[in-house]
A and B are shown apart, each in its own frame.
Chain A
Amino acid sequence: MGRFIVRRLMLMIPLIVGVSFVTFALVNLIPGSPVPNTRDNPKIRPADVARLEKQLGLDKPWPERYVYWLGNIVRGDLGRSMHNQVPVRDRIWAVLPNTMLLSVSALIFALAVAIPLGVYAAARHRTWFDRLTNISNVALFAIPNAWLAIMLVVILTFKFKEWGFPSLPATGITDTRNGGGLADRAEHLVLPMVSLSLVQIGVWASYIRSSMLEVLQQDYIRTARAKGVSRRSTLYGHAFRNALLPLVTLVGLSLPGIFGGAILIEYVFAWNGIGLLTLQSVNQRDYTMVMGTTLMFSVLTMLGNLLADVAYAVLDPRIRLD
């Protein structure tokens, strides 16, 4: 087991190098100076532009800059923000827990709804319930994320307040005044979490349903039924576990989508996470920060896939680790 994980981690190294190269190349190889609006600005002397570029290390050829940047990354140094000189790593570490809280809770919530939904629909194949979930699954994963989030805020925050119902907070992670308690945090989490997970519920539930249907056609299910095992027990004892196995991989593959969705959700709810940080940095043309967050998103995705592979190997005895 340990060796398997170590080997998988080693395989991540070339991937990370590749990702870092793509990120670096995108930012640095395009024409134009990353010091925006200074070259054409008549109020800035060329000497000052040169000084600024030297200060940011932009006077050296790009391969040298890339190797330098990569060397620093290996040592855990992502550079300093071009905007305010704060170390990129510190900024990312500061907001990472918020993004993780949002993404992981959305993931768990989505699974908690999708699994029963998918299994139940498969168990009632070709009934009205099955057909309904089938269509509603598509209806869920076609929802524009940001629009859904805003509409939920409109209804559950503003309209509910208007109608005199208890309403949920629309923005932030805690209340600025008397917030910070567990209940307050949970209350703030509800809307972003639900908006982020609804789309995933559609994808996963329909996947679980078809996975269940496939397993239910297997010989061992027929054998189990033939020897007199109850329908209920074949469904939940035999079929269920086997149908859930491929889901582990799918969840790993869905991570980029969840992180991508989290950017939109963080934007709508002013949720102080990596997504919001990325957007702010993009607006400030803070390239070191954007490179850092992009790299962070990729590493999180790779770690998630690793975790999915390990989980798959642990859950499926047919998979040998070595």
Chain B
Amino acid sequence: MGTQSSTVSRQTEATLADAAKPPAGRTMVRAAPGMYRRAWRRFRRDHVAIASLVVILCIIAFALAAPLVSNLTGFSYSENHLSEKLSNPGENGYILGSDGNGRDILTRLAYGGRVTLLVATFATLAELSLGLGFGLISGYYGRWIDTVIMRAVDVLLSIPSLPLLILVATLYSPGVILFAVIIGAIYWPADARLLRGEVLSLRGREYIEAARVVGVPSRSIILRHLLPNVTPILLVQASLTVPSVILTEAALSFLGLGVQVPTPSWGNMLQEAQRFYRQQWENVFIPGLMIYISALCLYLVGIGLRDALDPRLGD
């Protein structure tokens, strides 16, 4: 699977292609393209995944341009206009309407997108670092370390995560970063189990044993031989984790336990709006739709990536 390069990342596609060049002396018409390049070729042909990627980039741009959006609408995200609360879209100069405190929905949507995407990114990073760390250690060292980690994973996986998350979120009433860390700390066990399995299957391969025989220290084996080989799985897992984290953030904020108002997130916009859904359903519909579209497109990209990277499918 792939090339044994020490620094595998998306920027080094060129180096990878170089590394895959046939040794001198054998005649070949063209160098075999590297694994990531082949994956990219497959991904490019996947119209659904590409379209989803474009939508996601638009959403990210929208969130990044939040100050511009604020300029355009003329409202700040925390500005209350109580006399104009629950305006319909287009009414009183609110392009997408106003919420229960008379705040502009469009502006809050842009700023809320920042918070939601930030939480999703950090939580994914936290979750995967924990999962990767424990998975690599557990799978590589085996023995009692493996037993301890895997029993802990068993325990954590048998507690439904949402009740656990509700409990922890209530105890800590978190801000953006802590909230992301908490999500990561609760969801890592599944990733650890997945990566451990992968490491177990890699550990028996000849090149790992060869490295061990010639005396390469464990740390280098893990970092230079195992890590590059679990990277594709990690990439796929990351792209599928982001949308699930977005949905989790939405669920928790919806219950009033996530990022606290007046800082907007799509989830807590949903929570505020659902109190008034009988008078004005658009306020519920709009942030929910943003969550839905982001999660959907991210999933589609993740699935496209999985199909592109899955070595079993071949070319």
A residues touching B (Cβ–Cβ < 8 Å)?
A: 14-15, 18-19, 21-23, 26-27, 30, 135, 138-139, 141-147, 150-151, 153-154, 158, 255-257, 259-261, 263-264, 267-268, 275, 278-279, 282, 285, 290, 293-294, 297-298, 301-302, 305
CB-based closest 5 A-B pairs: A260-B162, A147-B288, A18-B155, A256-B160, A142-B296
B166 adjacent to A142 (CB under 8 Å): no
Chain A contacts for B97, CB-based, 8 A? none
Chain B contacts for A21, CB-based, 8 A? 155
Task: Kindly count the residue-residue contacts between A and B in the assembled complex, taking CB atoms under 8 Å apart.
Answer: 134
Q: Choose, from B21-29, B128-136, B167-175, B195-203, the stretch at the interface.
A: B167-175
* Among A14, A282, A294, residue most surrounded by chain B Cβ atoms (within 10 Å): A282
CB distance from A269 to the nearest CB of B (A): 12
B155 adjacent to A144 (CB under 8 Å): no
B residues touching A (Cβ–Cβ < 8 Å)?
A: 48, 151-152, 154-164, 166-168, 170-172, 243, 247, 250-251, 254-255, 257, 270, 274, 277-278, 281, 284-285, 288, 291-292, 295-296, 299-300, 303
Chain A contacts for B171, CB-based, 8 A? 26-27, 30
Chain B contacts for A260, CB-based, 8 A? 160-163, 251
Q: List 20 A-B contacts (CB under 8 A).
A: A18-B152, A23-B159, A26-B167, A26-B171, A30-B171, A138-B296, A142-B243, A143-B292, A144-B247, A144-B295, A145-B251, A154-B277, A259-B160, A263-B162, A264-B255, A268-B274, A275-B163, A282-B167, A285-B170, A298-B160
B295 adjacent to A302 (CB under 8 Å): no
Contact A138 B277, CB 8 Å, known A22-B159, A146-B270, A278-B163 = no
Chain B contacts for A144, CB-based, 8 A? 247, 250-251, 254, 270, 288, 291-292, 295
Contact A146 B251, CB 8 Å, known A19-B155, A138-B300, A260-B160 = yes
CB distance from B49 to the nearest CB of A (A): 11
Task: Determine the residue in chain B with the shortest Cβ distance to A258.
Answer: B160
Chain A contacts for B168, CB-based, 8 A? 26
B278 adjacent to A298 (CB under 8 Å): no
CB distance from B165 to the nearest CB of A (A): 8
Chain B contacts for A294, CB-based, 8 A? 159, 163-164, 167
Task: Determine the residue in chain B with the shortest Cβ distance to A153.
Answer: B277
Chain A contacts for B250, CB-based, 8 A? 144, 146-147
In the assembled complex, the Cα of A256 lies from the Cα of B162 at a distance in Å of 8
A27 adjacent to B167 (CB under 8 Å): yes
A282 adjacent to B170 (CB under 8 Å): yes
Chain B contacts for A256, CB-based, 8 A? 157-162
CB distance from A297 to the nearest CB of B (A): 5
Task: Determine the residue in chain B with the shortest Cβ distance to A154.
Answer: B281
Chain B contacts for A23, CB-based, 8 A? 159, 167
A135 adjacent to B288 (CB under 8 Å): no
CB distance from B16 to the nearest CB of A (A): 30
Chain A contacts for B295, CB-based, 8 A? 142, 144
CB distance from B277 to the nearest CB of A (A): 6
B155 adjacent to A15 (CB under 8 Å): yes
A151 adjacent to B285 (CB under 8 Å): yes
Chain B contacts for A138, CB-based, 8 A? 296, 299-300, 303
Chain B contacts for A147, CB-based, 8 A? 250, 254, 270, 284, 288, 291-292
